Chains A and B, each alone.
Chain A
Amino acid sequence: MTLLRADGLVKHFAVRGRTVHAVDGVSFDLAPGETLGVVGESGCGKSTLAKLLMRLEKPTAGRVYVDGADVFAMPARQLRRLRRDVQMVLQDPYTSLNPRMTVGAIVGEPFDIHRDVAPRGDRRRLVRELLDRVGLRPEDADRYPHQFSGGQRQRIGIARALALRPKVVICDEPVSALDMSIQAQVVNLLADLQRGYGLAYVFIAHDLTLVRRLAHRVAVMYLGKVVETGTVTEVYERPTHPYTRALLSAVPVPDPALRGRLTPIRLTGEVPSPTDPPSGCRFRTRCWKAQDLCATEEPVLGLGRAACHFPEPLR
């Protein structure tokens, strides 16, 4: 069963007469209660993908389906209903909460728009329950965002996202602005909420270690494309795309005993500009396996795990 489906999503932006290929053909299926981790470096298109999934941007091509319904072809009435099912947690807990609203008003605002979810008399109680659920105190409803730490603010953002009892929450770098001791708290909360409500997540992050802790399946993006996808175990333990291997190899291992024992793969250079992506395989300019074929023919994801002409053999 598929809850959220992306089908050939493409988003190009025109910038000063040039075309930025932010997202260039991304497809995936997400089942209820499942977490898809989306990893990649800056400029790979992961935040644009989040906006497309939320219908905050219109795709240049491709479709997004929620419970089988095409979200870009919906009448306004149905779209309004859709907003209940798909919610978002944003990266920056400092700019994503209105400083002039109380926490209660922020978390309860979705009820102003979707009045049938919570009868007027119930709102206060529901807001307090939500705050309690994300580890805040019910009396925090009367305070303002600036009175909270970054981690607590992110909890407020999560409570707001949960208010309408969504089926899927798109999390765009939800903990990258937080200190390390707080990141684990928020990740544990997200995992706990998933179990409690059967939520599905699209969890977008550049931190591969975090994604491993939370995701069931992973999509690795590079310059607007998914280059490898599979279960967490497959992708992390048996990566087949050279970029996935290099990316995992670049993550510092928090164990000094392994220093010098691992032979790291070091990529040269940096990610090319998405305004002028390389021909053929977009990764070929940094790839140690690249052949002539890679410059002329674009590898496709197809049924395999990796979009690569020369992937590591599946073990």
Chain B
Amino acid sequence: MSLLDVTDLRVAFGPTTVLSGVSLHLDPGETLAVLGESGSGKTVTAQAVMGILDPPAVVVGGCVRYRGQDLLTLPERERRRIRGREIAMVFQDALSALNPVFTVGYQIGETLRIRDGLSRREALHRAVELMDQVRIPAARQRVHEYPHQFSGGMRQRVSIAMALALDPAVLIADEPTTALDVTVQAQILDLLGELRRERTMALMLITHDLGVVAQVADRIAVMYAGRVVEQADVHQLFRAPAHPYTAALLRGAAISGTPPSLRDLPSGCAFHPRCRYAAAVCRTVAPSTVDLGGRSAACHFAREVLVDPAAR
């Protein structure tokens, strides 16, 4: 059984469907990369799993099972117990994820005071330990500083320390390095990998960067227009993609046209207007997810793409 199992998750934003049946799973200790462009639904998927969707976005179908228990049917009280302690999240923009008027030590310790009933002094002590664990130099002094006194990379370390405070089994990181320079991105990716190994924590890494995926992921779920279009082991996927969208991304080829508006999705397969493999069936029938033995792809021609040398 997987640690986290998302099945046929559907999310709507008023009349607009933003997730139309997302299925993915996460095993203990593994790194799953969720790859997609803006509007593909990768952040909404993470928010739905965390139970922090912004209204008017609502879950309209499917389930999110954590250790076999469907989180979507839990009362908010129970949900809150899972949030942070079992599944925690790191956001893209560490500056707006941190409160500018409290010291970083106060913010890292806040959850420990409220959830674990630690005293101020104990919480501060633990905050220093956590800052050490995310390799912030001079943690004992810096615990008293404010977010603006930290550089971008150090701020992201602070928000990682906050997420780790209750020792979660799953960490969801939503584009954690997108706002950072490339040399700092490398440091943060290394850190996430080390923390995952040290804590045997599962990592769901949301990204738009194929290089990042290749560097850190065990498995990958590729999203397009609110669906997972391909899911595979990272080595398999880079060797031979099974979905034409993945294939085009890997080749670095220009994909004609633009990602569709979720308000006005193309009929049939949402990718068909941009696809080199598109045939009549693609314009009328939405493809179901084809099981390809340990991997899957939502394409009528997945088996053909998989063996097409031109797709690599």
Contacts of A258 in B (CB 8 A): 214
Alpha-carbon gap, A254 to B241, bound state (A): 14
Q: How large is the interface on A (under 10, 10 to 19, 20 to 34, 35 or more residues)?
A: 35 or more
Assess whether A151 is interfacial by the CB under 8 Å rule: yes
Q: Is the CB of A206 within 8 A of B186?
A: no
Stretch of B43-51, B158-166, B248-256 contacting A (4+ beta carbons < 8 Å) = B248-256
Assess whether A271 is interfacial by the CB under 8 Å rule: yes
Contacts of A253 in B (CB 8 A): 211, 214-215
Q: Is the CB of B37 within 8 A of A267?
A: no
Stretch of A79-87, A136-144, A177-185, A228-236 contacting B (4+ beta carbons < 8 Å) = A177-185
Q: Is the CB of A255 within 8 A of B214?
A: yes
Q: Is the CB of A185 within 8 A of B254?
A: yes
Of the candidates B187, B209, B239, B259, the one whose C-beta lies within 8 Å of that of A266 is B187
Contacts of A182 in B (CB 8 A): 255, 258
Minimum C-beta distance from A277 to chain B (A): 16
Q: Is the CB of B235 within 8 A of A247?
A: no
Number of interface residues of B (CB under 8 A): 39
Of the candidates B182, B209, B212, B234, the one whose C-beta lies within 8 Å of that of A41 is B182
Instruction: Fill in one digit per residue for A245-273: 1 if any B CB lies within 8 Å of its CB, else 0.
Output: 01101111111111100001011101100
Q: Is the CB of A188 within 8 A of B254?
A: yes
Knowing A252-B189, A255-B214, A270-B152, the reply to whether A179 touches B183 (Cβ < 8 A) is no
The residue among B152, B181, B217, B274 with the most chain A CB atoms within 10 A of its own CB is B181
Assess whether B113 is interfacial by the CB under 8 Å rule: no
Contacts of B38 in A (CB 8 A): 179
Of the candidates A185, A206, A254, the one whose C-beta lies within 8 Å of that of B210 is A254
Minimum C-beta distance from B134 to chain A (A): 14
Question: Which residue on A lies nearest to B234, using beta carbons?
Answer: A256
Contacts of B239 in A (CB 8 A): 257
Of the candidates A41, A181, A268, the one whose C-beta lies within 8 Å of that of B181 is A41
Assess whether B303 is interfacial by the CB under 8 Å rule: no
Contacts of A188 in B (CB 8 A): 254
Assess whether A42 is interfacial by the CB under 8 Å rule: yes
Assess whether A290 is interfacial by the CB under 8 Å rule: no
Binding site for B on A (CB under 8 A): 41-42, 149, 151-152, 179-182, 184-185, 187-188, 206, 208-209, 246-247, 249-259, 264, 266-268, 270-271
Known: A181-B255, A270-B181. 7 other contacts (CB 8 A): A180-B210, A180-B249, A182-B258, A184-B255, A256-B215, A257-B238, A271-B181
